[in-house]
Structure formats: structure tokens, C-alpha cells
Structure 1
Amino acid sequence: MSDTIYALSSGRPPAAIAVMRVSGPGALYTARALAGRLPETRRAALRALRDGEGRLLDRALVLVFPGPDSATGEDLVELHLHGGRAVVAVVEQALAALGLRRAEAGEFTRRALVNGRIDLAQAEGLADLLAAETEAQRVQAIGAAEGMVSTLVRGWSERVFALSAEVEAALDFAEEDDVAVDLGDTGRAVAALRAEIEEVLARPAAERLRDGLRVVLAGPPNAGKSTLLNLLAGREAAIVSPVAGTTRDVIEVPVVGEGVAYVLADTAGLVVASADPIEAMGVERARAAAQVADIVVWLGDDAPPGEAVWVWARADAAGRGEPPEGVDVVTSSTQPGTIATLWRVIAARAAGLLPQEDRPSLNERQRALAGEAAAELVSEDDPLLLAERLRQARVLLARVTGADATEAMLDALFGRFCIGK
């Protein structure tokens, strides 16, 4: 990271303001070359930006953040330009002429990680925050970016360090009469820490919010599944026909309900057997979709299998009659309030399947490492074996926050970022 990079960190022009970031060992020199006298640290000041020939490029606000106390951990400068395309282009040309390089995707955040300003768990939270499309995703991601996961894991690591110190004392001073170390207490503390980690692992994974909960509409043919899918999605996503068996495959529609992402799935009508091979394949796929669903919405006159939400659909249809006892929701295409009621029932089911806002949740990578660490937290009668298990647990927990992150892992993570982040 001996070179100095630049990139537009605000939205694509034209815009009212365009924020150009410059980071690296030559950032302050670059700012002086363009703006002359620099303003006080962290104080915005209006400056005339000029190229090497003295030509006026723009009048912009300049902010200076000397390293290591900056977002990237190195000297950082922000140029708040007028947001026209030509202004941004000419300033970029001037920066390139001074020997700077355009930043790669996520490179500013990557430098923050390398320079110790954030750890890997926080960087993952930032990546999720940039990709957040729902309120629930935003809340979870900002918690991770602000260090909620990192604080949790560091607390575990500190406890493992303390336990390791106790075991090492027992090994080093086992023959000393004046040093008393009770490995029984240590073993109980190890078990308590393992139970705490396993309690966090039992919570819903962070990906549940990002990927969306799968809500599968299932039931017999011509039960109104496609119509209900369209009503839930608020658009004509599935073909609706009075002919039974219109839906042959699983139709998936991503939607957002009350700030939570869902994937609604319309499925073929379930029949006991079919002589039509295409219909039989659709039925098999419908059953497979229901098996992996987070929530099944059952549209049938008979009681649903399992814990499905039982919906009495098409209540406005002629001759439909009265719903059977035990139905959760009665819906009608002519009464929007019934669809809102169904969404509330779905949301109530979803609440127990999603991470809670005030509690840290781990992503797949973090869960795998924490799970391996918990597996090492087993009390051993032999202090040598216990010391080794604790050492392995320390290593695994350190990986959660990126102690040994590989270049390939970092490339994959920061490839999700925009250029100026």
C-alpha cells in the first residue's frame, strides 16, 4: 500500500456534490498541489483547485484527515466538488497526472482493515450494509459494522486467554506448594463458555435476513395459490387460470413485507398420482419446496400437514361456503384487508426465524469458526491436553475477526464493495 489512491465516493454524477477521496502516503502532498494551503485538520475550507498548469478546475471544500487517525488508517483527503460529470472528470485527470492510481473495489475499506481501523467482522458488516435493501437488513448490518459481533467474539477470546493462563500456571508451578490452581473450577468455566457460544450459534443465522425467508404456497390443484401469490406480491407475477394444473413449476417472487425480505414460491397443485409426467415432476418439486420452506402457507379444504399457516382462500367465490374450524386466515381478492391480515400472520411466524435487532448474529463463516472453537472447549483431566484445546479455541476465535484472513478471502469480500468505499 505504498501508492496513493483516489475514487469518487459519492453517487454517480451529475449530482449537487461529488466527494472525491484520496488516501495514501501522498494524499497531503496531492492536496497541496491542487489546493495550496491546507485547512486545519478535520475542518472544511473552501479552496480553488488548480492543475499543474495553474488552470482552475473547481472551487471545492477540502477536508484533511492525517493518519493513523483516519477512516483508512493513513493520510486521507476529501474533495467536495461540484457534482457535474466534467468537473469530476477533470479532477480525476489532475489526480492521475500527479501519479495517483484509481482505487479498486473496496480498497479504502481494505486499507482500514490492514491498518487496524476495523476488523474482518466489521468489514463484512459494511459489505452487508452497502447491499442492504430492507430495514431489517440495514439494522443488522450496521450493528455488525459498529462492532457488535467483534465485541462479542473478543469477549470470548479474552475469557479463553484467562483460562489458558490458569492452565499454564498449573503446568508451570505444579510442584510449587504455594501456588494453588483448581482445574475443576477451570473446567466448569470452560463448560460455561462453551454453552454461551452454543447459545449464540442456536440463534438464526445472519443470512436469513439477507437471503429472505422462503414462504411456499402449497395445496391441491385450483386452490387459488397463484391468485394469492399475486395478491401478496402486489403484482401479476404468476399466471392465473380457472383450469386446474396451470402451474407446473415452482415460481419464486422476492418481496419485502414490513421491512423483511421474503421469497414467495407458488407451486404445482399436490395430487396423489398423475399420469402426466410433466405434472408429476411439478408435484415432486412442489413437495421438495415445501420441505425446505421456512413457512408453508396451505390452501386446502382439509387441515394442513405440519405447522403450516392454513388459509381459506377465494372466500368471495360463488358457493364457497363457510371456512372449516381451525383456519388461520380467510382471504378474498375483493377485500385487501384479508391480505394484510395474512401478512401479519406470516410476519408473526417469521419473527421467531429471524435474528433479533438487539442481539448479534453470526454469518456462515463466523458460525463455522465459532462452532469449531466451541468444540474445542472440552474439559480435560490432563492439563496438557486442556492447554492445547484452549490454544486451538483462541486461534479459531481470532479468525472470526480476521487474524489470518487470506488474500483470496479478502478479494472475495471487498469485491462486493463499490469503487469508492
Structure 2
Amino acid sequence: MTDTIFALSSGAPPAAIGVIRISGPRAGAALEALAARLPGPRHASLAKLRDARGGLLDEALVLWLPGPGTETGEDVAELQCHGGRAIIGAIETALAALPGLRRAGPGEFTRRAFANGRIDLAEAEGLADLLEAETELQRGVAQAMAGGAFSRVVSDWRDRLLLQSAALEAVLDFADEDDVTTLPADFMVRIAALEREIATWLARPRAEALREGYRVVIAGPPNLGKSTLFNVLVEADAAIATPIPGTTRDVLTRPVAYSGVPFLFADTAGLHDAAGDEVEAIGIERALDALDRADLVLWLGPEGEGPDGAWEIASQIDRGDGTLKRLARHRISAVTGAGIDALRADLVTTARAALPKPGEAALNERQHGLLRDAVRALGGARHENDPLLVAEGLRVARVAFDSLLGRTATEDMLDTLFGRFCIGK
């Protein structure tokens, strides 16, 4: 944290403009070294940038942003130069030659923002998801987390818990005093209300499903058009589709978005008795594993033989020997396109109901686990008669809240999180 770091924060060159960000105690000195002056705070200024020998590097807009009111909480300088590779490379070389400056690692600017209290850990996790968002739904949910929606809720829970803990500690510390002998009458009511609120968050759809996409697995015996349907749904010739049984030997996945909703479609090996064919048997085993992990199965096989909750799909309706089903949810032909639009629309409606709502914060695995710990601790505290055990339950819940916001975080966990960011962020 004592180093001054720099990196290209805009897109990879060549581009119309390149933005090079400098953050740390020597950011101002670096700006003076290249621009020969320090412009007024927070005012863009045109300057000629020169290297240590006086050679002209570029003419650029420069910004001086003294801390702590910056993105990183440190002194920050920005160079908005032309976006050619040679120009950016020359400026970065000049910066690297200055004392106390070094190139930033992945996510190092955001990690400094976290370390300096500009953002908390939940906001940093949301920002990581925001940078990786590929659909409008992913963007909206990540924006809610990065904007502090979840952090504000957790902070409120923590403040309320601290009030109840203070009331409990007063009883423990001053039980022999006349004016403090019992807990407030509504003490356990408030704890129960807090527990219920947290439980509603645990019931929300998870962030992993949104990040990876709603997982739809196409399954059934061989030669029922699974690969052809897969190609139509992912809008690409991703799978080899032939009349030869056993063509698909492995699970093939492709991501795609419909109406801003992310999906992950999987084509699987035909399910049948593969006695004598070791490779095909492995493919069938992997297909069964994919069924177990699916959010939804499109079952093209005989009616009633698919997994529980699978959609019955009557495929190949353009053929006289197509799948016959009395209670098919959809009747389709991947060859002619019949019924495909209705199937897509149904998939979008179903996925939207199962995924987080637009603009609604969603929990990742780490956050979900910590809230689960908090609920268990509060539930246990409510059923205890010993005030010391009640106090311990409240303490465990508070530690979970602190971990959610990053007030207690291990270096390994932080390294993993901020390693998801690109260099320059």
C-alpha cells in the first residue's frame, strides 16, 4: 500500500483514447514529472507529456485528484492520452522509470478502495460481477450489489443486533442493580424478526445461477433430435447431428441469452444400455450427472420416463415416426422450426421466475453461507435460557455480518476476489 501503482484503465489499444490511472502517495510527483506541473484539483487540463530526457510522449488531458475523496481513497492522477499502442507503451515506460512507481496487478485499484474504506467487501464482489456481466439481467443484479443495496441491509441488521446485544450485556454486567434486572419485554421478538428478515434473503435465487446461466439440459434416448434442437436453441452448429445412434458421446454446453436472460444449454449423450461400448457408457454417465445439476430438463424420450419436473417435449413432429406424447408441454420440429418460438418464450418466462429479479441484489455462495450461519445463531439464541449462551449466539451472528462487509476477511479470500478483476481496475 506504500507503492504508487499505475495501469491502463481503458480498453486495449489501439483506441481513440487511452486512460492511464496512477494511484498512491507519489501520484502527484509522477504527474509533475511527465507534465511539468500539477494542475488544479479535479479540473481537466491539456499538457504535453515528456519523458526523463525531455522527449515528447504525447499531448493529453491530465487530471489531479487528491485523496481521500477518490475511487481508491488515495491521491490519484489520470492521463487521458491518444490510444495508440506506441504512445501508451512509451508513457507506461516513462512511469515505470520513476522512483516509487510500479505497474498494478489485477484488481489492485479496487483492493485499495476496499482497504481504504471506499467500498466494502459485498460491494467489491458486486463490482466483480458487474465487470463480468454479459446480459442486461446480470448487469442489473450486479449493479444493485455494487451500489451497496445489500451492504445497507446488512449494516441495518448489524446496528439492530448491536442494540439487542447492548441490552443483554447490561443485564449480564449489572444484574445486581435495581434498575437493570431483566431483558426488555420485546427482546426475543426483535431477535425473531431479524431472523425472519434474513431468512427471506436466504430464500432468494442465488447469484451463481445468474452468473452461469439458467442450466437447461436436453435429454432422452438416441436419435430423437437432441443435438438438432440444441443447435437451434444456441443458434449455431455446435453439435454434430446425424441419424447414427451414439454420435453425441459427451456433454456439450453453450451459453446464450434470450431477451437479456442468460441460459446455459447442454446437449447430452443418448440414454440407453451401452453394453460393450466403454466410451459411450462414459458419455451416458456424464449425461446422468448433467441431469442432476440441471435447472430444467427438456425430455425428448418416452412420456413419463424423464426426471421429475422435466418438460415433456414431443420432437420431430415433421416426421411421421416422431415422438408421440399425449401431455407434451411443447410439440416441436427443430428442422422446420415449428413450435421453437413458443418453446423459447416459455423458457424465458420460466428462467425469469427462477433467477434474481432485475435490479435485485442476489447472494453468492459465500454470502449465502454467512447468512445461514447468522440465522442458525439467532435461532439458537432464541431457544436458550442462559443469558451467556444467548450473548454468544448474538456474537456469532455479528461476526457473520462483519464478514459479509469485509470487516473480518482473510488475505487468501481477498486475493481470490480481487484476482477476478482486470489490470487497471
Q: TM-score, normalised by structure 2?
A: 0.93
Alignment of 1:32-111 (within 5 A): 32-99=32-99, 100-111=101-112
**Deviation of residue 8 (structure 1)?**
0.7
Distance 2:345 2:54 in 1: 64
**Deviation of residue 399 (structure 1)?**
0.6
CA contact (8 A) 2:315 2:322 kept: no
Q: State the partner residue of 2:114.
A: 113
CA contact (8 A) 2:65 2:76 kept: yes
Distance 1:317 1:284 in 2: 30
Q: Secondary structure at the match of 1:42?
A: coil
Which amino acid is the alignment partner of residue 312 of structure 2? W
Distance 1:82 1:50 in 2: 14
**Deviation of residue 319 (structure 1)?**
5.2
Distance 2:13 2:63 in 1: 20
Q: State the partner residue of 2:385.
A: 381
Q: Does 1:408 align with 2:412?
A: yes
CA contact (8 A) 1:24 1:74 kept: yes
Alignment of 1:123-134 (within 5 A): 123-134=124-135
Distance 2:374 2:289 in 1: 34
Q: State the partner residue of 1:17.
A: 17
CA contact (8 A) 1:22 1:78 kept: yes
Distance 2:292 2:98 in 1: 60
Distance 1:267 1:174 in 2: 67
Q: State the partner residue of 2:236.
A: 235
Distance 1:69 1:308 in 2: 54
**Deviation of residue 164 (structure 1)?**
0.5
Q: Secondary structure at the match of 1:231?
A: helix
Q: State the partner residue of 1:315.
A: 317
Segment drifting more, 361-370 vs 252-261: 252-261
Distance 1:155 1:146 in 2: 16
Q: Secondary structure at the match of 1:352?
A: helix
Runs of 4+ in structure 1 over 6 Å off = none
| Structure 2 unaligned residues grouped into runs of 5+ | none
Distance 1:216 1:3 in 2: 50
Distance 2:113 2:341 in 1: 45
Question: What's the % identity of the aligned pairs?
Answer: 53
Distance 1:326 1:390 in 2: 52
Alignment of 1:244-393 (within 5 A): 244-271=245-272, 273-278=273-278, 279-303=280-304, 304-318=306-320, 320=322, 324-336=325-337, 338-377=339-378, 378-379=381-382, 380-393=384-397
Distance 1:86 1:347 in 2: 46
CA contact (8 A) 1:169 1:181 kept: no
Q: Secondary structure at the match of 1:5?
A: strand
Segment drifting more, 43-52 vs 100-109: 43-52
Aligned length: 419
Distance 1:337 1:38 in 2: 67
**Deviation of residue 309 (structure 1)?**
1.6
**Deviation of residue 73 (structure 1)?**
0.3
Residue by residue over 1:362-403, the C-alpha shift from the partner in whole angstroms, topping out at 9 and shown as x without a partner, is 111111111112111121222222112111211121011111
**Deviation of residue 15 (structure 1)?**
0.9
Distance 2:165 2:186 in 1: 13
Distance 1:420 1:329 in 2: 48
Residue by residue over 1:342-373, the C-alpha shift from the partner in whole angstroms, topping out at 9 and shown as x without a partner, is 11111222123212224321111111111112
CA contact (8 A) 1:14 1:83 kept: yes
Distance 2:191 2:318 in 1: 61
Distance 2:2 2:321 in 1: 77
Segment drifting more, 332-341 vs 132-141: 332-341
Q: State the partner residue of 2:151.
A: 150
**Deviation of residue 280 (structure 1)?**
4.3
Q: Structure 2 vs 1, CA of residues 15 and 181 (structure 1 numbering), >3 Å: closer, same or farther?
A: same
Q: Does 1:399 align with 2:403?
A: yes
Q: Structure 2 vs 1, CA of residues 276 and 254 (structure 1 numbering), >3 Å: closer, same or farther?
A: farther
